[in-house]
């Protein structure tokens, strides 16, 4: 716990017991706000896609359907929890917990504004990759433990998809690390005060966006779920609250990927220096304003998730593999070589 306290500069002079309480309060705040956002992300997705398809979306429960996520949560909480008779029960119970906990743990290294992060570690990006890999185990184990052909095929697809696109995603962020000179997410954001990395790292941003869709099993890369041929894929046999854990884990992963995109490519909570130069009063605004700036970028990326789902059909499995191995990974390697060359030439400085 002392190491965690030392990671948070503004807690250094406070007694250890008070530090622990403050850290626990911060964790509770982050978890509560995240779960509230995740619940209403489902609502806004149904609303946005509904209007794109000339429908109203949820409208019955509450004003314009605003209480629909609460009604869905209550329904899933009290729904019967059915366990397949031939399933591997310990792994069946454990899989959704692994999936959800790995997603929530990733929140610990995300800075929401300057100075507010639960664990300000120097290897924040590597920690996020590690948690993403652990989340894949939840999907794989759920398919194996269900003892169902549909679930097993979904988990096999997820295994190959995660391996393929996690490589591309990791390589796409190497250019960001080289440009910022750090793996710490707060340092990466501060390095973008003059210019957002989406400009010099546009190729890396494109690769990251495509990989983020595949990592979160979203259209057009939702082959592990694939309702048309696999019923629901890896969580076909899950119901009630265990299904809700998978559902919440998926949307939490979407929120985390959107946050990484905002932090690593869109300047996080910062506004470009030329804008603050024109309007210096912005620098005197309170912390909540910078939280709103960060959330606006996250919401814009979340909207892009919804837009793509309403627009594009699902790829075939062979197309999924071709895009990952023959297009994205070579492009990511090219981006690393290009960024390194520009660093040596002095065009890019950390």
Going residue by residue through the chain (350 aa), what tens digit of pLDDT does each one get? 444 444 445 444 556 777 788 888 888 888 888 889 988 998 999 999 999 988 988 888 888 889 998 998 888 888 887 888 888 888 888 888 898 898 899 999 998 887 788 888 888 889 998 888 888 888 888 888 888 888 888 888 888 888 889 899 999 999 999 988 888 999 999 888 888 899 889 999 999 999 999 888 888 888 777 766 677 777 788 888 888 888 888 899 899 999 999 999 998 888 887 777 787 777 778 878 888 889 999 999 999 999 999 898 888 888 888 998 999 999 999 999 999 898 888 777 66
CA dist 283 and 345 (Å) reads 33
125 occurs within a structural domain: yes
CA dist 256 and 103 (Å) reads 8
165 occurs within a structural domain: yes
32 occurs within a structural domain: no
33 occurs within a structural domain: no
Which among 291, 287, 285 has a CA at the least distance from the CA of 269? Answer: 291
Which among 191, 185, 58 has a CA at the least distance from the CA of 125? Answer: 185
273 occurs within a structural domain: yes
pLDDT for 14 equals 54
Which among 167, 170, 200 has a CA at the least distance from the CA of 343? Answer: 200
Q: Which residues of 178-192 are buried (b: 16+ CB within 10 A; e: fewer)?
A: bbbebbbbbbbbbbb
Q: Which domain holds residue 325?
A: 80-345
222 occurs within a structural domain: yes
- Structurally, the chain folds into a number of domains equal to 1
Question: ω into residue 220 within 30 of 0, thus cis?
Answer: yes
Which among 342, 326, 320 has a CA at the least distance from the CA of 159? Answer: 320
24 occurs within a structural domain: no
15 occurs within a structural domain: no
Q: What is the pTM of this model?
A: 0.87
pLDDT for 327 equals 93
CA dist 170 and 345 (Å) reads 24
């Amino acid at each position: 716990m002392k190491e965690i306290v030392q990671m948070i500069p503004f807690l250094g002079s406070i007694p250890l017991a008070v530090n622990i309480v403050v850290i626990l309060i911060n964790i509770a705040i982050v978890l509560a706000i995240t779960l509230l956002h995740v619940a209403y992300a489902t609502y806004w997705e149904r609303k946005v896609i509904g209007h794109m398809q000339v429908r109203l979306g949820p409208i019955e429960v509450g004003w314009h359907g605003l209480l629909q996520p609460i009604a869905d949560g209550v329904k899933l909480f009290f729904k019967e929890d059915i366990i397949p008779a031939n399933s591997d029960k310990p792994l069946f119970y454990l899989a959704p917990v692994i999936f959800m906990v790995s997603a929530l743990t990733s929140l610990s290294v995300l800075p929401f504004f300057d100075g507010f992060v639960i664990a300000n570690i120097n290897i924040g990006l590597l920690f996020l990759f590690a948690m993403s890999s652990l989340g894949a185990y939840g999907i794989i184990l759920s398919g194996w433990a269900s003892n169902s052909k549909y679930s097993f095929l979904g988990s096999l697809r997820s295994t190959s998809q995660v391996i393929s696109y996690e490589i591309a995603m990791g390589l796409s962020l190497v250019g960001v690390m080289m440009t910022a000179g750090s793996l710490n997410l707060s340092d990466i954001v501060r390095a973008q005060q003059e210019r957002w990395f989406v400009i010099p790292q546009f190729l890396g941003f494109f690769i990251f966006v495509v990989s983020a869709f595949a990592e979160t099993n979203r259209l057009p890369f939702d082959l592990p779920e694939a309702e048309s041929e696999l019923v629901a894929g890896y969580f076909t046999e899950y119901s009630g609250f265990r299904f809700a854990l998978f559902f919440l884990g998926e949307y939490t992963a979407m929120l985390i990927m959107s946050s990484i995109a905002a932090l690593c490519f869109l300047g996080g909570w910062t506004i470009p220096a030329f804008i603050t130069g024109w309007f210096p009063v912005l620098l005197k605004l309170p912390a909540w304003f910078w939280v709103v700036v960060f959330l606006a970028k996250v919401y814009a990326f979340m909207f892009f998730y919804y837009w793509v789902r309403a627009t594009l059909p699902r790829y075939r499995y062979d197309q999924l593999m071709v895009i990952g191995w023959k297009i994205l990974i070579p492009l990511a390697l090219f981006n690393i070589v290009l960024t390194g060359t520009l660093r040596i030439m002095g065009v890019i400085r950390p």
